[in-house]
Amino acid sequence: MGMMKKIHLIITLATILLFIFESNAVNAQVNDQAINRDKAPRVEIYDENNNLIKTINLEEKSIETDDPKTKSIIAEQTVTAQSIKKYSFGNTTFSNYVWINGGYYFYNPGIFEFELINRPEAVAVEVYKLGQVYTGKVVWRDVAGWAALDWRDTTLVKHPGSYAFRFKNDGSGTVQIKHGNLKYNY
């Protein structure tokens, strides 16, 4: 296994472990009245027609899918650590939607993570390729604390390519985000 593949593997595993640790720590502190929901925390991935293509149950850490494309792992790309860039964003609150970096298109997006202040019913990140063409969305339901995924592990972005991202409230009330990061140029 090449050095770059090892670095990518370590980064991916560290992100997953951080997400699991933060989610478990926050979930342990939330009282039962605040969680009065009948569904487990989960991530849902939708295609450009808003058809559900993948569900990840965050309590069981299981993946439910019928789409063979989402079952396969996207081919590894060799990159140098110096080529990867990171865009960091700060605190934001919204009831409808907000563009990440004002709708800037990120080339070859990869690891994406953000920390929620509150526990919204559902927060989505919509994906748009050049020309404002909607390619789908990822929805985090009943999640608190850190949320993360690697865009390369979805069918919503294809490399090489540039994509813009928009946070959207897919539930009621407001969404409060403390901060987050998007790594790109993989």
Domain, as residue range, for 148:
3-184
Phi-psi region of 59 (alpha: psi -120 to 50; beta: other; left: phi over 0): alpha
Between 8-22, 65-79, 147-161, 170-184, the lowest mean confidence (pLDDT) is in 65-79
Structure tokens at 14: 């560290």
Output the pTM of the full model: 0.70
Question: 26-36: per-residue pLDDT in tens?
Answer: 444 444 433 43
How many Å apart are CA 152 and CA 132, to the nearest integer? Answer: 20
How many Å apart are CA 139 and CA 55, to the nearest integer? Answer: 9
24 has pLDDT over 70: no
Question: How many Cβ atoms are within 10 Å of 92's Cβ, its own excluded?
Answer: 16
Number of domains in the chain: 1
For 18, 138, 147, 162, the CA distances from 159, given in Å and listed in that order, are 26, 18, 23, 8
| pLDDT band, very low/low/confident/very high, at 18 (cuts 50, 70, 90) | low
